[in-house]
């Protein structure tokens, strides 16, 4: 193992360099403060590794994404969402018997306790579904207090299955509540994505015929979102979990982190941006001129990524699926055309080239969701359904490998000590 030397005030210190299986290197500064009194300051954790993990590998320079060693392109072409969930959480691809068993046990947990109806009834119809999903996921802990012991493997296992099984039901109920339609019970013989589509779009008066092409496209989107190593929401799940909070509470925190427009909320922001451009009747180039004007505070949503500085491999796969879905549904392609125009102009523009800004996973996903009939408010909810296995895999890995409570430090910049002034004298 090699070391890094750090010279502080003339004194030389050595810190071990840790090397990952793909050759990534990091300086282990775990003893920095104890030996020097100094901390590292790294706003936004741009250079900070918070853990070692064997789940997902990303090479942002080369546009590589692999789950447990398998390329995302291959998983997208050959696998299914539940198989990928198994891979992420358990570490290996399942045999047919293992996958059947996994699928069956998830399928028998899809129903929500009937008392959840009262719970949903308390939310205003106008509530954002991400708020409803975060609250309902957290509320699972109130309905299943029998499975919250982190040290009991079987209880963590049942929580995992309940979450995977119930999140589509929770999500579809959030939508049904917002439009005042009756909840549709899950049908356990249907596939994961098909069942979700039915719960979203069927009513007791009218069945919804699930188009297998659309169900497949949705399954693919779930696969592409399933994990992305230490992103904001996954780091949140790990951080909350590090206090030994239960899995439901940790996942609920992840849902809340995902809601933000700089993270999972970007796919909603992309559609809103495209609709605005369309309604204003401006060209893609004119919009990009606004984006480049820093005073405007506008960003090209769906562009740029903290890690990918080349291209986001998920965006390429989604772009093709987007074309297929629109063709299948015989739908107008005006938003897709506009998105492609923006992409083309941006990729030639020095502002985006110099900053290495490329389309990310969210640039095209919203167009598919919209074509399928998913309302804009629900886009991020679908992202959370996709990301769930990744969150669970990280939470489980952390508990298996051992951890300390996450507790960053700070450099204090406030007032130095001063005396309290009574209110009458201020
Ligand atoms: N449009 C215009 N300019 C951008 C964009 C964008 N989408 N993204 C980054 N920039 C510019 C910044 O203004 C900055 O310019 P400067 O150097 O002149 O100050 C430079 O590029 C670097 O940007 P940062 O914000 O420092 O990059 P960071 O890694 O912190 O942010 C992020 C990454 C949040 C994804 C950013 O690119 C962004 O806001 N994109 C739009 C939102 C989006 O699509 N989010 C989804 C991300 S993927 C996901 O979460 C699933």
- In this structure, the residue with its CA closest to atom 37 of ligand 1 is 304
CA distance 188 to 284: 45
Instruction: Identify the band that residue 394 occupies on the pLDDT scale cut at 50, 70 and 90.
Output: very high
CA distance 237 to 260: 15
361 CA to centre of ligand 1 in angstroms: 13
- Check residue 326 and give its pLDDT: 87
306 CA to centre of ligand 1 in angstroms: 7
Instruction: Identify the band that residue 84 occupies on the pLDDT scale cut at 50, 70 and 90.
Output: very high
Instruction: Identify the band that residue 401 occupies on the pLDDT scale cut at 50, 70 and 90.
Output: very high
For ligand 1, whether the C-beta of 302 sits within 6 Å is yes
Q: Which is nearest to 42 in space by CA: 229, 306, 305?
A: 306
Instruction: Identify the band that residue 324 occupies on the pLDDT scale cut at 50, 70 and 90.
Output: confident
**DSSP conformation letters of 246-293:** -HHHHHHHHHHHHHSTTTTTHHHHHHHHHHHHHHHT--HHHHHHHHH-
Judged against a pLDDT cut of 80, whether residue 367 lies above it is answered with yes
What's the mean pLDDT in 347-356? 95
30 CA to centre of ligand 1 in angstroms: 30
| Closest ligand 1 atom number to CA of residue 232 | 50
What's the mean pLDDT in 100-126? 94
Q: Is 62:310 a contact under the CB 8 Å cutoff?
A: yes
Identify the residue with better confidence: 140 or 108: 140
What's the mean pLDDT in 213-235? 96
- Check residue 265 and give its pLDDT: 83
Judged against a pLDDT cut of 90, whether residue 227 lies above it is answered with yes
Judged against a pLDDT cut of 80, whether residue 1 lies above it is answered with no
Sheet strand arrangement including 70-71: 56-59, 64-67, 70-71
For ligand 1, whether the C-beta of 58 sits within 6 Å is no
CA distance 17 to 28: 6
- Check residue 183 and give its pLDDT: 96
Please give the span between the terminal C-alpha atoms of the chain, in angstroms, as a whole number: 60
Catalytic residues: 305, 362
What's the mean pLDDT in 168-197? 96
- Check residue 333 and give its pLDDT: 76
In whole angstroms, how far apart are CA 31 and each of 14, 37, 195, 385, 391?
10, 10, 51, 38, 29
What's the mean pLDDT in 179-203? 96
Instruction: Identify the band that residue 263 occupies on the pLDDT scale cut at 50, 70 and 90.
Output: confident
What's the mean pLDDT in 181-186? 96
Best of 264, 289, 304 to mutate for ligand 1, by most ligand atoms within 8 A of CB?
A: 304
What are the tens digits of pLDDT across the range 335-350? 888 998 999 999 999 9
82-86, 263-267, 276-280: segment of lowest average pLDDT: 263-267
- Check residue 264 and give its pLDDT: 87
Instruction: Identify the band that residue 4 occupies on the pLDDT scale cut at 50, 70 and 90.
Output: very high
Q: Encoding tokens for residue 360?
A: 């990310």
- Check residue 185 and give its pLDDT: 97
Judged against a pLDDT cut of 90, whether residue 328 lies above it is answered with no
What's the mean pLDDT in 28-35? 93
C-alpha angle 266-270-275 in degrees, rounded to nearest 5: 150
What are the tens digits of pLDDT across the range 410-419? 999 999 999 9
The overall average pLDDT reported for the chain is 94
For ligand 1, whether the C-beta of 263 sits within 6 Å is yes
Judged against a pLDDT cut of 80, whether residue 332 lies above it is answered with no
For ligand 1, whether the C-beta of 358 sits within 6 Å is no
pTM over 0.75: yes
- Check residue 341 and give its pLDDT: 92
- Check residue 268 and give its pLDDT: 86
What's the mean pLDDT in 242-256? 97
C-alpha angle 91-53-66 in degrees, rounded to nearest 5: 60
What's the mean pLDDT in 168-175? 98
What's the mean pLDDT in 61-76? 96
What are the tens digits of pLDDT across the range 266-287? 888 899 999 999 999 999 999 9
Judged against a pLDDT cut of 80, whether residue 59 lies above it is answered with yes
- In this structure, the residue with its CA closest to atom 19 of ligand 1 is 294
**DSSP conformation letters of 20-88:** -TTS-EEE--TTHHHHHS-----GGGSS------SSEEEETTTTEEEETTEEHHHHHHH--HHHHHHHH
CA distance 367 to 339: 9
- Check residue 174 and give its pLDDT: 96
Q: Encoding tokens for residue 116?
A: 């959840």
- Check residue 44 and give its pLDDT: 94
Q: Which is nearest to 221 in space by CA: 111, 371, 350?
A: 371
For ligand 1, whether the C-beta of 166 sits within 6 Å is no
**Residues in the chain, overall count:** 426
CA distance 306 to 46: 8
410 CA to centre of ligand 1 in angstroms: 24
Cβ partners under 8 Å of residue 111, min gap 6: 166, 169, 185, 186
Strand, coil or helix: 19: strand
Q: Which is nearest to 360 in space by CA: 311, 321, 322, 320?
A: 311
CA distance 153 to 396: 10
Q: Encoding tokens for residue 185?
A: 């019970």
197 CA to centre of ligand 1 in angstroms: 32
- Check residue 323 and give its pLDDT: 85
């Amino acid at each position: 193992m090699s070391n890094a030397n750090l010279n502080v005030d003339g004194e030389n210190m050595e810190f071990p360099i840790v090397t990952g299986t793909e050759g990534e290197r990091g300086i282990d500064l775990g003893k920095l403060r104890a030996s020097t009194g100094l901390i590292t300051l790294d706003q936004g954790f741009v250079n900070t590794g918070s853990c070692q993990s064997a789940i997902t590998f990303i090479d942002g320079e080369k546009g590589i994404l692999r789950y447990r060693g398998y390329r995302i392109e291959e998983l997208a072409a050959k696998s299914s969402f539940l198989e990928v969930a198994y891979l992420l959480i358990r570490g290996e691809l399942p045999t047919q018997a293992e996958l059947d068993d996994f699928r069956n046990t998830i399928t028998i947990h899809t129903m929500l306790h009937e008392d959840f109806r009262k719970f949903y009834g308390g939310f205003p119809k106008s509530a954002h579904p991400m708020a409803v999903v975060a609250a309902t996921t957290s509320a699972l802990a109130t309905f299943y207090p029998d499975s919250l012991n982190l040290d009991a493997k079987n209880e963590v296992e049942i929580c995992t299955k309940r979450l995977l099984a119930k999140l589509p039901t929770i999500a579809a109920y959030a939508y049904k509540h917002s439009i005042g339609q009756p909840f549709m019970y899950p049908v356990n013989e249907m596939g994961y994505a098909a069942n979700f589509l039915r719960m979203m779009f069927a009513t007791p008066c009218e069945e919804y015929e699930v188009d297998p092409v659309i169900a497949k496209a949705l399954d693919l989107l779930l696969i592409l979102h399933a994990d992305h190593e230490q992103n904001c929401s996954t780091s949140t799940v790990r951080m909350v979990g590090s206090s030994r909070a239960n899995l439901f509470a940790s996942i609920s925190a992840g849902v809340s982190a995902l809601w933000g427009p700089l993270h999972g909320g970007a796919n909603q922001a992309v559609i809103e941006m495209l609709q605005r451009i369309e309604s204003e009747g401006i060209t893609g180039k004119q919009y990009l001129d606004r984006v480049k004007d820093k005073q405007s505070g506008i960003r090209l949503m769906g562009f740029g990524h903290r890690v990918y500085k080349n291209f986001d491999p998920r965006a390429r796969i989604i772009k093709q699926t987007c074309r297929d879905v629109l063709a299948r549904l015989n739908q107008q392609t005006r938003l897709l055309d506009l998105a492609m125009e923006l992409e083309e102009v941006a990729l030639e523009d020095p502002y985006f080239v110099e900053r290495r800004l490329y389309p990310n996973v969210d640039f095209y996903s919203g167009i598919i969701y919209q074509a399928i009939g998913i309302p804009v408010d629900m886009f991020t909810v679908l992202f959370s359904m996709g990301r769930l296995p990744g969150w669970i895999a990280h939470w489980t890995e952390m508990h298996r490998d051992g951890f300390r409570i996450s507790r960053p430090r700070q450099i204090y910049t406030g007032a130095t000590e001063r005396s309290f002034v009574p209110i009458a004298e201020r």
